[in-house]
Amino acid sequence: MVNSGTEHTVKAFDTDINELRGMVAEIGGRSEQAIAKAMRALEKHDLKLAAQVVEEDKLIDELEKRIDDLTFQTIALRAPMADDLRELIATFKISGVVERIGDYAKNIAKRVPVIASTHKLGPASLLPSMSNVASELVRDSLEAFARRDADLALEVSERDQVVDDFYTSIFRSVITYMIENPKDIGEAAHLLFIAKNLERIGDHATNVAEMVYFAAKGEPMPERDRGENPTDLLEE
């Protein structure tokens, strides 16, 4: 059900909603960029770029706060109903989730100085690909929000499976590496954390997709099958 067509009789309501949508698009864009920059900094061991990511996270936090304020105000003053209400609640939750995505990107950037420049990514060579997929998930989930596209949201939630699979694979190879190269455990541990962050980013993108689905349909997204549970691997 698309929210287009007639406008509200009180035009200021539309103005507020459009402003909010704009801000959500902005915070999504910034988080995406943060992920991309952090990964590039990791690959190139670019310490300046990494520091930039950490610094720019402040903007993301500020933006989230502004979105919260405007959402509160709109709910209080406009008494929204039905799909307007669902959209505002979704906006509120999504901004928090996207802010956390930004935090994960910052976390990745923080680990860049710790990982030695001489080493390639080694066992975690799949990390760039994983981050691409995760990035795409974030982009697509916000695209679904902008278009109120429940089908795209559903698709995003299913594609998260790919990120999870990446994580499982990287996890395995890093653990193996750790066993074989005990002196590099420190760095390897950081690589694990980075992989985990990306996996969490994928999950958060799924959260956004679930919010989008609810806002558009008025019902929660149906449960999906989860893939292999990484914790099962330890028993091997």
Partner 1 sequence: MTELIDSNSSIESPNMTASTAPAISAGDGPLKMTTRNVDVFYGDKQAIKDVSIDVTMDNVTAFIGPSGCGKSTFLRCMNRMNDTIPIARVTGEITLEGEDIYAPDMDVVQLRARVGMVFQKPNPFPKSIYDNIAYGPRIHGLANSKDELDNIVETSLQRAGLWGEVQDRLQDSGTALSGGQQQRLCIARAIAVDPEVILMDEPCSALDPIATAKIEELIHELRGKYAIVIVTHNMQQAARVSQRTAFFHLGTLVEYGVTSEIFTNPTEERTRDYITGRYG
User: Which residues, numbered 13-42, are part of the site for partner 1 (CB under 8 A)?
Assistant: 13
Binding partner 1 by CB under 8 A: which of 113, 128, 186, 220?
220
Binding partner 1 by CB under 8 A: which of 10, 47, 77, 114?
10
Q: Check binding of 6 to partner 1 (CB under 8 A).
A: yes
Q: Which range binds partner 1 by CB under 8 A, 3-11, 64-72, 104-112, 167-175?
A: 3-11
> Shortest approach of partner 1 to residue 216 CB, angstroms?
11
Q: Check binding of 86 to partner 1 (CB under 8 A).
A: yes
Q: Check binding of 225 to partner 1 (CB under 8 A).
A: no
Q: Check binding of 4 to partner 1 (CB under 8 A).
A: no
Q: Check binding of 236 to partner 1 (CB under 8 A).
A: no
Q: Draw the binding track, 44-83, toward partner 1 (x: CB under 8 A; -: no contact).
A: -----------------------------------xxxxx
What 3 state SS string does the chain have? Answer: CCCCCCCCCCHHHHHHHHHHHHHHHHHHHHHHHHHHHHHHHHHHCCHHHHHHHHHHHHHHHHHHHHHHHHHHHHHHHHCCCHHHHHHHHHHHHHHHHHHHHHHHHHHHHHHHHHCCCCCCCHHHCCHHHHHHHHHHHHHHHHHHHHHCCHHHHHHHHHHHHHHHHHHHHHHHHHHHHHHHCHHHHHHHHHHHHHHHHHHHHHHHHHHHHHHHHHHHHCCCCCCCCCCCCHHHHHHC
Q: Write out the residues near partner 1 by the rule CB under 8 A.
A: 5-10, 13, 79-86, 218-220
